[in-house]
Structure 1
């Protein structure tokens, strides 16, 4: 694949117009170019709030690891993040001037690490997350409460009961949240909207992977 740089010259509701300077017409004809892949890098720079969140997480991981120097933790996690992402093309990024999207995805990566390794943070992770959907999914897959981090139960937004048997209905694509027993009870005592608004949560659709984590049967997860 040949990579060329271009400039966006116009944006409408349904079209992006790009001008790319290109001189090798012989190559273009030989290769019969027809389609292009367009990358749209974020032009915004990491915010102070994002930088603060990243360093809070890095500090807690440093303490959890036995006080490994934070700069070492930062470089290790950045390397692992770059290996696991396809958006950076191997380019090294800095928390001083990277773009907003890279910072957002790196913070989500750090939160996933914290959740998977049970790293104590001392505050609700939801206060540090940048991508609520990824955060809720990570909490679901690791069976921890999205509010407080304690062991979680599966909460169905479309509440089961009232004549519906949880052992026979299809749970696939139902909206769910991972909640501890205390927050699960709280949620059932208020409207779902009030609960979501209070804790800034967004339920996500139950997938087969999530269902298996909560020991739902194949009958409960039929397509």
Structure 2
């Protein structure tokens, strides 16, 4: 069902539905629960020249790494994207900006997963993108330059023993040795401002996967916190 947005005030949205809808229909859809709806805004903006340039640059890099023709590489990546995202086919000549950005992120994820090097100029949007910053941490890539990286805390752990620290409370950055050293020289606040970095919190699963914490240690910390209130 489709609708037009009539007005918007804070978190209150007034819609005009293309078809009539009554409460009985809503109750049937909701199976007796409180009816809810998902609002998806149609993106009418066309892919930008910068998005198109970055996507084709990535396709070129994947093609160079794999040895496949660029056209074949583009089609293979699109087929993988369609299968994963359940998306319809699109053209890079006239798709919308949202599709272009989602496909760009998908191709970057592919490069991370298969350790495919890509051009440094494509790293400019990664430091402020949460998903891609987490990918840098997962695959140990410097969020600034893409070189092999170390995991750095945004807030220093200090003298606390790391295996006794609840890292769920900390934010992280993925930095190569040179940039990690520069961060300590400059001070973390000046460093993140200079490189426009947004440090990120990691999920429990990522903390375990990256060997920063164990599930056992998380449970122990939670039990200690709970027992403190008894």
TM over 0.5: yes
Aligned to 1:123: 120
Q: Would the aligned equivalents of 1:50 and 1:104 in 2 still touch at CA under 8 Å?
A: yes
- Which residue of the other structure, out of 182, 187, 190, is the alignment partner of 1:191? 187
Q: Would the aligned equivalents of 1:58 and 1:70 in 2 still touch at CA under 8 Å?
A: yes
Aligned to 2:226: none
Aligned to 1:90: 87
Distance across 1 between alignment mates of 2:165 and 2:4? 52
Aligned to 2:197: 201
Distance across 1 between alignment mates of 2:167 and 2:183? 19
1:176 aligns with 2:172: yes
Aligned to 1:79: 79
Q: Would the aligned equivalents of 1:173 and 1:206 in 2 still touch at CA under 8 Å?
A: no
- Consecutive unaligned residues of structure 2, counting only runs of 5 or more, are 223-230
Shift of 1:129: 4.4
Shift of 1:144: 1.7
Shift of 1:8: 1.6
Secondary structure, counterpart of 2:156 in structure 1: coil
Secondary structure, counterpart of 2:167 in structure 1: coil
Shift of 1:31: 4.1
The Cα offsets for residues 43-102 of structure 1, whole Å up to 9 and x where unpaired, read as 222111111111110111111110x222222222122122222xxx53212211222122
Q: Would the aligned equivalents of 2:127 and 2:196 in 1 still touch at CA under 8 Å?
A: no
Shift of 1:30: 9.3
Aligned to 2:103: 106
Secondary structure, counterpart of 1:19 in structure 2: strand
- Consecutive unaligned residues of structure 1, counting only runs of 5 or more, are none
Aligned to 2:70: 70
Secondary structure, counterpart of 2:19 in structure 1: coil
Q: Would the aligned equivalents of 1:42 and 1:100 in 2 still touch at CA under 8 Å?
A: yes
Shift of 1:189: 1.0
Cα distance change of structure 1 residues 168 and 137 upon mapping to structure 2, 3 Å threshold: same
Structure with a larger share of its residues in helix: 2
Aligned to 1:138: 135
Shift of 1:125: 4.1
Cα distance change of structure 1 residues 123 and 62 upon mapping to structure 2, 3 Å threshold: same
- Which residue of the other structure, out of 154, 167, 192, is the alignment partner of 1:157? 154
Aligned residues: 215
Shift of 1:35: 4.1
Shift of 1:138: 0.5
Aligned to 2:54: 53
